[in-house]
Amino acid sequence: MALATFWFILTAVLWTGFFVLEGFDLGVGLLHTVVARDEPGRRAAINTIGPLWDGNEVWLIVAVAAMFAAFPGWYATSFSAYYLVTVLVLIGLIVRGVSFEFRGKLASSRWRHLWDTTLTAGSLLVPFFLGVFLGGMLHGIPIGQDQEFSGTFADLFSGYAVFTGLTLVLLCLLHGATFLALRTTGALRGRARLLARRIAPVTALAVLAFLPWTHSTAGKGVLPSIMQLIAVLLVLAAAWLVTTGHEGWAFAATTVTIATTVLSVFVDLYPRLLVSSTNPAYDITVGNAASGNYALKVMSVVAIVLVPVVLAYQGWTYHVFRRRVSAEQFADETAGAPE
Amino acid sequence: MSQLDLARLQFAMTSIYHFLFVPVTIGLGFLTALLQTAWHRTGLADHLRLTRFFGTLLLINVAVGVVTGLVQEFQFGMDWSAYSRTVGDVFGAPLAMEGLAAFFLESTFLGLWVFGWDRLPKRVHLATIWAVALGGALSAAFIMAANSWMQHPVGYTVNATTGRPQLNDVWKLFTSPVFLRGYLHVLLASVVTGAVVMLAVSAWQLRKGRSPLVFHASARLSLLVLVPTLLVAMLVGSELGVTEGKYQPMKIAGAEAQWTTCQPCSFSLFQVGGGNDDRTPTKIIEIPHLLSLLATNHWNGKVLGLDQVQSQYQAQFGQGNYVPNIFIQYWAMRVMAYLAVVVLLVGLWGLWLLLRKRLSSARAFQWAATWLVILPFLMNTAGWLLTESGRQPWIVQGIQLTRNGVSPSITTTTVAISILVFLLLYAALAVVEIVLMARYARRDPEPAPTPEAPLPSLTY
């Protein structure tokens, strides 16, 4: 296998890993004020992802760094084309990241309300605009012969790209609700289950529409691939499993759904990286955007050695924090602020 | 302003802001790990209280450091697509390695440390804070390898078809003298920054006298770390100056506003006037031979003047102006060096008080040490201005000019919008950060824990 293809697969896996892992903590960010109306409940909801979200986010950082290192042309064209979209994603990541840390630092309900709002808003901006970005890769944007973007901001918002964003937001919501049901107790768990049950049918419909649209956008007809069939079946299974109280299995099902949905975009994209809507000859591809063989080889060695190590210690983290979190734990605490 | 000016402004602004937080993260991370190690060995409740006290300050700071780092990663593609496309083959590799080797480590173990107090065995929990500190230091190594390559490109060949640099020896990136000295200097400067923050907080607390014994211990630790680290940082910094002078003679000549070649060369303490359009500033107090010594390590060393390097570069690279901003070079160097001397003197004062066992009662010192906290941030900023502004007009020395690295497809309006957005967002974050840091720094440390009760996570 050519090294460039290996790096395409690795980049796709990193993006997928990001949505699988950060997907549920984005969902929890979106739902934490819905699932719990009082402070102890919200603290509990946030604490289910407290130890995990930062490590999850690194998957995106590494995915983008992999694009830069392995396909400089892809990285350069995409982020200059998606300039303002990227600014929106960054705003989301920034306000979200500091919300976790700042929220509990002052004992004032206005203060907490502010960071609850930024946490929710950030958790919406990130999956939606990253979805627009991913969908646009496949749908195509105006790219000229010089591999530079030649369109306007509006060109980035094709119907398919916007729908990719919506689908990802819905997937994050379902994934997050299922995760909350899996990781909390008592009333919180009940509400999370109820939320998951309500979100599941909408998400299933979105996935059901998204996959054939993806296929036809890629010019491959509308019949779904096996991977896409799995995505659809499991999103339906997740809805049923969470209702019957099999939260662990439901979470496994949403995990596979989100993974197969994101991966199917990359599968349909290959060997292209960024489609040019101007002329197929100007597509940015694995062939014309890859770094030299030496750079790819060095990074492959690093990745092959380190990825298993990272998976091992991240896996261990999930094991350490496997216990359910209950609202009662936070009932008699103030926000832990000074004085 | 042109799109190029705005893109440069944005990069300068976001990098300087980001680098206010990075050194505190690295330095305070290392010091917090030391405190926890002390607790692990002595079992003293005060050491635990200090670990959690400074750990909380570390976390407030890490939050902003991490999110502003994200902006840096995307900005190369957004504003500097021509640069990214040209040098991604070489420059991207250390960035990808940073993510895989350092950033995963730092972020994952930070979560384990914050939430793992009652979940992990003590020894394992101690290891997690060391993993965080190690992750931060490793992260800086990869970033410095990438940056050093921009100062002194090595380990590449130019592809005959594309005309772009291609990596051909990755070890050269990590063994280049600019990298080795630059990285060590940044790492030491970070520890100095962390130590000054710890010293300032401890000094304030000592002045208020609420938990004198606890904060005497942290003041002592910070002083013992600060003084030797700063001394070594100064030595490494001057070595770095010599090394950079060899590969980027403009940078060093600019730092003295030296237009003509000299041998031996003197160093001026101040100058009035001066800049790219004023070649005859009034130099005040010139110290003979000092520039020769600083720039070449020799008493009578020769320093090439800006004019000579300019004509040499014109012959080599064609017409153009290769002189960086002299005002920035001259003053950035002095701000960094002079403030370092001030920090060193205050540090020595503290050590002397410590020896005479008068640290807890020395009001004047406690006041000075509290305000000292501003200086490392000015020094770090000045250091980066010296390094990065001194590289101009090159984005990669000798390979690509900054003006050729900017994204061709973006408009001035686009960059202006994003500058405005980040300006507002960063200003808001600065206010919150300062309020929270000040509030938590002035708080009493947690009461000593009862023996068998589990330790909760840090506030979240």
Beta carbons within 8 Å of B246's beta carbon, 6+ residues apart: none
Nearest-CB residue to A54 (from B111, B418, B440) = B111
In this prediction, what percent of chain A has a pLDDT beyond 70?
A: 97
Residue from the list B59, B66, B108 with its beta carbon closest to the beta carbon of A313? B108
**CB-CB under 8 Å, A313 with B439:** no
Q: Report CA B367 to chain centroid distance, whole Å.
A: 25
Show pLDDT as tens, one digit a residue, over chain B (460 residues): 889 999 999 999 999 999 999 999 999 999 999 999 999 999 899 999 999 999 999 999 999 999 999 999 999 999 999 999 999 999 999 999 999 999 999 999 999 999 999 899 999 999 999 999 999 999 999 999 999 999 999 999 999 888 899 999 999 999 999 999 999 999 999 999 999 999 999 999 999 988 888 999 999 999 999 999 999 999 999 999 999 888 999 999 999 888 999 989 989 988 888 888 888 888 888 888 999 988 888 889 899 999 999 999 999 999 999 999 999 999 999 999 999 999 999 999 999 999 999 988 899 999 999 999 999 999 999 999 999 999 999 999 999 999 999 999 899 999 999 999 999 999 999 999 999 999 999 888 888 777 667 677 776 6
CA distance B14 to chain A (A): 13
A75 contacts B459? CB cut-off 8 A: no
Q: How far apart are the first and last CA of chain A?
A: 61
Inter-residue contact B445 to B214 (CB < 8 Å):
yes
SS3 at position A259: helix
- Judged by CB atoms closer than 8 Å, whether chains meet at B443 and A338 is answered as yes
3-state SS assignment for residue B303: strand
* Residue A191 Cα, gap to closest chain B Cα (Å): 23
Residue A299 and residue B108: Cβ atoms within 8 Å? no
pLDDT attached to residue A99: 94
Residues 76-95 of chain A with CB under 8 A from chain B are 76-81, 83-84, 86-87, 90-91, 93-95
Residues in chain B: 460
Q: Which two tokens stand for residue B391?
A: 């590289």
What does the pLDDT average to over A89-100?
A: 95
Confidence band, pLDDT 50/70/90 cuts, at residue A330: confident
Q: Model ipTM?
A: 0.92
Report CB contact under 8 Å: B115, A150. no
Nearest-CA distance B272 → chain A (Å): 42
Integer Cα distance of B166 and A293 in angstroms: 9
Between CA B70 and CA B436, with CA B108 as vertex, the angle to 5 degrees is 65
Q: What is the CA radius of gyration of chain B?
A: 23
- Residue B87 to residue B399: CA distance in whole angstroms: 9
> pLDDT-derived band of residue A338, with 50, 70 and 90 as boundaries?
very low
Interface of A with B in 8-67 (CB under 8 A): 43, 46-47, 50-55, 57-58, 61-62, 64-66
Give percent above pLDDT 90 in chain A: 75
Q: Is A143 on the interface with B (CB under 8 A)?
A: no
Q: How far is CA B321 from CA A53, B150, B281, B314, B401, in A?
A: 48, 19, 21, 8, 11
**Element of type H or E holding B158:** strand B156-158
CA distance B436 to chain A (A): 7
CA angle B159, B163, B166 (to 5 degrees): 40
- Whether residue B77 and residue A90 make contact (CB cut-off 8 A), yes or no, is no
Confidence bin at A208 (pLDDT 50/70/90):
confident
Helix (H) or strand (E) holding B44: none
Rounded alpha-carbon distances, angstroms, from residue B55 to A54, A207, B25, B189: 17, 44, 10, 20
Please indicate whether, in this complex, the C-beta atoms of A79 and B77 are within 8 angstroms of each other.
yes
Give the pLDDT band (50/70/90) at residue A62: very high
Nearest neighbour of B71 by CB, restricted to A57, A90, A291? A90
Q: Which of B199, B262, B253, B270 is nearest to B54 (CA)?
A: B199
The answer, for A102 touching chain B at a CB cutoff of 8 Å, is yes
Residue B91 is inside which H or E element, if any?
helix B81-97
Closest-CA residue of A relative to B429 is A98
Does the structure show a pLDDT above 90 at A231? no
Q: Which residues face B278 on adjacent strands?
A: B275
* pLDDT band at residue A239 using 50, 70 and 90 as cut-offs: confident
- What average pLDDT score do residues A182-191 get? 92
The verdict on a CB contact (< 8 Å) between B70 and A94 is yes
Q: Kindly state the DSSP code that residue B377 receives in the 8-state scheme.
A: H
- Chains A & B: contacts with CB separation below 8 Å: 235
Q: Which of B3, B74, B103, B130 to mutate to test the interface with A (most CBs of A within 10 A)?
A: B74
Q: Output the CA–CA distances (angstroms, integers) from residue A13 to A21, A116, A163, in the order listed.
A: 12, 31, 22
| Distance to chain B for A151, nearest Cα, Å | 9
How long is chain A? Answer: 339
* Closest C-alpha to A258, from A303, A221, A206: A206
pLDDT at B209: 86
Residue type, B221: L
CB contact (8 A) between residue A75 and residue B77: yes
pTM, full prediction: 0.93
- Give residue B456's pLDDT: 77
> Cβ A64–B74 below 8 Å, yes or no?
yes
Structure tokens at A139: 């749908």
Q: Is the pLDDT of residue A339 over 60?
A: no
For residue B149, give Cα distances in angstroms to B206, B211, B396, B398, B399: 45, 48, 8, 11, 11
- Residue A336 pLDDT greater than 60, yes or no: no
Residue to substitute from B81, B117, B400, interface A, most A β-carbons within 10 A: B81
Nearest chain A Cα to B433, which residue?
A102
pLDDT of residue A33: 94
Separation CA B54–CA B47 (nearest Å): 11
pLDDT tens track for A245-277: 888 999 999 999 999 999 999 999 999 999 999
Whether the pLDDT of residue A224 is over 80: the answer is no
Q: How far is A301 from chain B (nearest CA, A)?
A: 10
The per-residue pLDDT for range A131-158, each reduced to its tens digit, is 999 999 999 999 999 899 999 999 999 9
Name the residue among B237, B203, B204 with its Cα closest to residue B221: B203
Whether the per-residue pLDDT at A225 is higher than 80: the answer is no
The answer to whether the CB atoms of B67 and A94 lie below 8 A apart is yes
Q: How far is B221 from chain A (nearest CA, A)?
A: 25
- B449: closest CA of chain A, how far (Å): 16
Interface probe, candidates B409, B419, B421, B440, chain A, greatest A C-beta count within 10 A: B409
Residue A182 contacts residue A176 (beta carbons within 8 Å): no
Return the half-sphere exposure (C-beta side, CA atoms, 13 A cut-off) of residue B345. 8
pLDDT of the residue at B169: 94
